[in-house]
Chain A
């Protein structure tokens, strides 16, 4: 009876022995998993926050640093058109990636996410029940509830925006850590979370003050103490990470390190370093929104590759970009400029949505809040 036995690269079948060439590479020569989310250059520019520095420097050069010059040159015109159009196409559209996913692919999941969807039910109830009832019944206490909820949403809007901004950067940094197998201990995670909330608090007192408060609520000295505390916390965490690198040879992934450093600088520097305002003009679009687009792209690719059983190639790349971007852009522009469309049929209804041809601040905030709550669940892995 013949038997099969493989040892030391030889295949033995019965009395015959064949030399077998090893097909699998040695473990030590295997390629390390891709450390970046998209690619090194894309991540450094669009996710980690280097592009806002470059564009901010460019804007400073183009405007000549003379803010009082009222007449724009041709280069200033072009820079502004670039700024405005990218704000619309990249910045505002990023909100609809998560909204479309929430009302689309996310619905096919088996997990219900009931707790996380409670805010949606509150929003639905607000618009479908409370507002119509308050308008029909002219009830003062129902109107009071509507007004109260609306005011809370409006007043806290900048703070929620700041929390969203920080939380996204921290989460994507953790994605880098997971990709490179850099495990954060429980205390490290708690420290990171505490620093993130401290940054949110500092932001809420300095550059994202709630609406209705004319200026920052704290005095100059208190603000300086807050900034010093924030900077000290960030430096202590950075020192710990470096120490871990030197002692255990476990280095924080470059993407996470650069991004978290930029996040801290974007929040801590505007008060002591006024020139960072030029950089800040590009932060929402080329730091926050591009991060979001990158996550949407990676999620789409991760879901498509198992279905296709092969990696995407250049031919499919364009199709995939269109599949991701076109529906988002279409809905983005249709929603944001819905007052223009509605005005063609019912000018009075158009005034409700916004008086200048685009959505008013109220409806824009609603879009943001839906995006904010959807964003917390829709990018989670299926398993």
Chain B
């Protein structure tokens, strides 16, 4: 008996297509969610995702993402070029978007994450 892996080269039948369709749907949901989240403001993202519902001390972030993100990022990096590689690093960008800390500051030192 041979077990076919979902993405094996000779895989046939509905399973690979089903898996691919499921993956496409999930990825689309993620992308739409992230894109629409960014298009508004971070506080609305967090509220809609329900992350901070339990926190009574939650305050909306001071830096709204509708501001000039790229400009602020470039400005922060130009002030501290020692963090250039890290600031442009995708994980850092994700962290800055989701923690509303725009700039090249050291996330470990300043608690950006």
Contacts and interface: CB of A to CB of B under 8 A. Distances in A.
Interface residues of chain B: helix, strand, loop or mixed (majority): helix
A277 B68 contact: no
Interface string A49-91: 0000000000100110011111110001101110111011101
Interface in B75-113: 75, 77-78, 80-86, 88-91, 93-95, 97-99, 106-109, 113
Given A81-B35, A356-B51, A364 B91 contact: yes
A77 B66 contact: yes
B87 to A, nearest CB: 8
A51 to B, nearest CB: 14
Contacts of A327: 7, 23
Given A84-B34, A270-B81, A277-B81, 10 more contacts: A59-B70, A67-B72, A70-B68, A72-B67, A72-B69, A85-B34, A91-B90, A158-B85, A214-B106, A356-B99
A284 B90 contact: yes
Interface of B: 7, 9, 20, 23-24, 26-27, 30-31, 34-35, 38-39, 45-46, 49-51, 54, 66-75, 77-78, 80-86, 88-91, 93-95, 97-99, 106-109, 113
Contacts of B31: 85, 89
Interface residues of A, number: 80
Contact of B85 (A79, A161, A307): A161
B38 A215 contact: no
Contacts of A88: 34, 90, 94
A251 interface: no
Given A340-B49, A360-B113, A92 B91 contact: yes
Tell me whether chain A's interface is mostly helix, strand or loop, or mixed: helix
A330 interface: yes
Nearest to B75: A67
A307 B9 contact: yes
Nearest to A289: B90
B30 A72 contact: no
A67 B103 CA distance: 12
A364 B24 CA distance: 24
Contacts of B26: 330, 333-334
Interface in A295-312: 304, 307-308
A368 interface: yes
Nearest to B73: A281
29 contacts: A59-B74, A63-B68, A63-B74, A70-B67, A70-B68, A70-B72, A71-B66, A72-B71, A81-B38, A84-B93, A84-B94, A85-B34, A85-B35, A87-B94, A91-B90, A158-B83, A161-B85, A162-B85, A214-B109, A274-B78, A280-B88, A284-B88, A304-B9, A326-B24, A340-B49, A343-B50, A350-B51, A356-B46, A358-B98
Contact of A333 (B30, B75, B77, B91): B30
Nearest to B91: A364
A206 interface: yes
Contacts of B34: 84-85, 88
Please name the 3 residue pairs, one residue from A and one from B, whose CB atoms are nearest each other, closest first: A91-B90, A209-B82, A207-B84
Contacts of B30: 333, 337
Determine which residue in B34, B39, B68, B95 has the highest number of CB atoms from chain A within 10 A of its CB, and name it.
Answer: B68
Interface of A: 59, 62-63, 66-72, 76-77, 79-81, 83-85, 87-89, 91-92, 154, 157-158, 161-162, 165, 203, 206-209, 211-216, 270-271, 274, 277-278, 280-285, 289, 304, 307-308, 322-323, 326-327, 329-330, 333-334, 336-337, 340, 343, 347, 350, 354-361, 364, 367-368
A357 B89 contact: no
A364 B99 CA distance: 15
A350 B50 CA distance: 12
A330 B23 contact: yes
A208 B82 CA distance: 6
Contacts of B75: 67-68
Contacts of B82: 206-209, 213-216
Most chain B beta carbons < 10 A, residue from A79, A203, A322: A322
A289 B9 CA distance: 26
A68 B74 CA distance: 10
A304 B9 CA distance: 8
Contacts of A289: 90
Contacts of A207: 81-85
A307 B9 CA distance: 9
B73 to A, nearest CB: 7
Contacts of A203: 85
Nearest to B65: A80
